[in-house]
Homo-oligomer: A and B are copies of this chain.
Amino acid sequence: MNAFQWTLDARDGNARAGTFTTPHGVLKTPVFAPVGTQATVKSLTPAQVEELGAQMVLANTYHLFLRPGEALIAELGGLHEFMRWNKPILTDSGGFQVFSLTDTRKIDEDGVTFKSHIDGSMKRLSPEISIQIQEKLGADIIMAFDECAVPTDYEYSRLAMRRTHSWARRCLDAKRRDDQALFGIVQGGVFSDLRAESAREISEMGFPGHAIGGLSVGESKADMYCTITEVNRILPEDKPRYLMGVGTPEDLIEGVRRGVDIFDCVLPTRLARHNSAMTMRGRLNLMNAGFARDERPIDPDCGCYTCRQFSRAYLRHLVNAKEMLAATLLSIHNLYTLVHLTEQMRQAIVEGNFEQFAQNSLAQLGNKE
């Protein structure tokens, strides 16, 4: 019995429209998953996240391990029940966050010891511990514990990649639940030879899905897109591909164009909390006094609750008055923008005109207001 199934519904060039079946429902890809770091998509109720069209949310193992703890979440019925999200959930492995704590973590071959950012206590994550935590959280898709290196440091990237491969095998060995799909992660920085080696090794391990990690962390766009192309040339067609932590409209289009199926990113909700609206014509900063009397919605072409209801002038007032509703309404808009973009890309792929859609959208994105 396999709870997971990947079906390729259509292809157009390298772009794919697929269906991934999980215990909590089906993902129609390409799909963008809003990030709910601490078991909440910041400032939104699950009802609002569902209403804007999200099919899946991501939660962070690092954060939930530290607070409230995976044992408590398991005791309360798991993450779906805890946060009341009944569709698919993906948890990361905690690796990315732990390796970001550059000054307060120590790596060894077995795992990582680090200082909690909450209470300063020493904690430990390893491939086995990460899988145990993720099994207690109970997401549908869980991730291998990997090491994300500085992407432009060759020697470090090589060592981190090797460690990532060894840890990936240990994650497979540690995994017990068969109602969770464990995805392997390709590392290797911006170096073609390392990425090719990593894509080959990870592909051979038999994961039901693959992720491209370590991108959108400071490298150039050209390096990022090139790396995606090279990795996806090697990753098998018959498994879903997840580009981790990537979430601008441009990057989603360029990712899908290169065969990516799944995306997540904190950017839309983070920008929202910094008064910035993402649109398919570029970003608007709602602090701008120029919007004070602007009766138009953020984006006249957008169908989200925020754009159907509110003027830029009202949003500018909320931002100016430091009202929490600003973050909520901008989060709804920004997430809808990316979710709707993935829906449009899926349709374009099915209809066989993805390249036209991509070129038009990218051209429009270049025309900032």
Contact = CB atoms under 8 A, between A and B. Distances in A.
6 contacts: A43-B325, A43-B328, A45-B325, A68-B317, A82-B311, A83-B314
A19 to B, nearest CB: 28
Q: Which one of A39, A40, A67 has the greatest number of beta carbons of chain B within 10 Å?
A: A40
Given A305-B47, A325-B44, A39 B317 contact: yes
Interface in A106-133: none
Given A72-B293, A292-B72, A42 B323 contact: yes
Interface in A238-293: 292-293
Given A46-B309, A67-B320, A317-B68, A325 B40 contact: yes
Copies of this protein, total? 2
A176 interface: no
B321 A324 contact: no
Interface string A306-334: 00011101100110110111011100000
Contacts of A221: none
A45 B293 contact: no
Given A45-B305, A46-B309, A75-B293, 20 more contacts: A38-B323, A39-B314, A40-B318, A40-B323, A43-B324, A43-B328, A44-B325, A45-B328, A45-B329, A47-B305, A67-B320, A67-B321, A72-B292, A72-B313, A76-B293, A76-B313, A82-B313, A84-B309, A324-B327, A328-B328
Contact of A311 (B42, B76, B295, B324): B76
Nearest to A81: B311
Classify chain A's interface size. Answer: 35 or more
Nearest to A71: B293
Contacts of A313: 68, 72, 76, 82
A318 B329 CA distance: 20
Return the 8 tightest CB-CB contacts between A and B, nearest first: A43-B324, A38-B321, A40-B325, A68-B317, A84-B309, A40-B323, A76-B313, A82-B314
Nearest to A331: B324
Interface of A: 38-40, 42-48, 63, 67-68, 72, 75-76, 82-84, 292-293, 295, 305, 309-311, 313-314, 317-318, 320-321, 323-325, 327-329
Contacts of A309: 46, 84
Nearest to A309: B84
A317 B72 CA distance: 10
A72 B292 CA distance: 8
A92 to B, nearest CB: 17
Contacts of A72: 292-293, 313
Given A45-B329, A317-B39, A329-B45, A68 B292 contact: yes
Contacts of A83: 314
A135 to B, nearest CB: 20
A83 B321 CA distance: 14
A323 B325 CA distance: 14
A87 to B, nearest CB: 14
A295 B38 contact: no
A317 B67 CA distance: 8
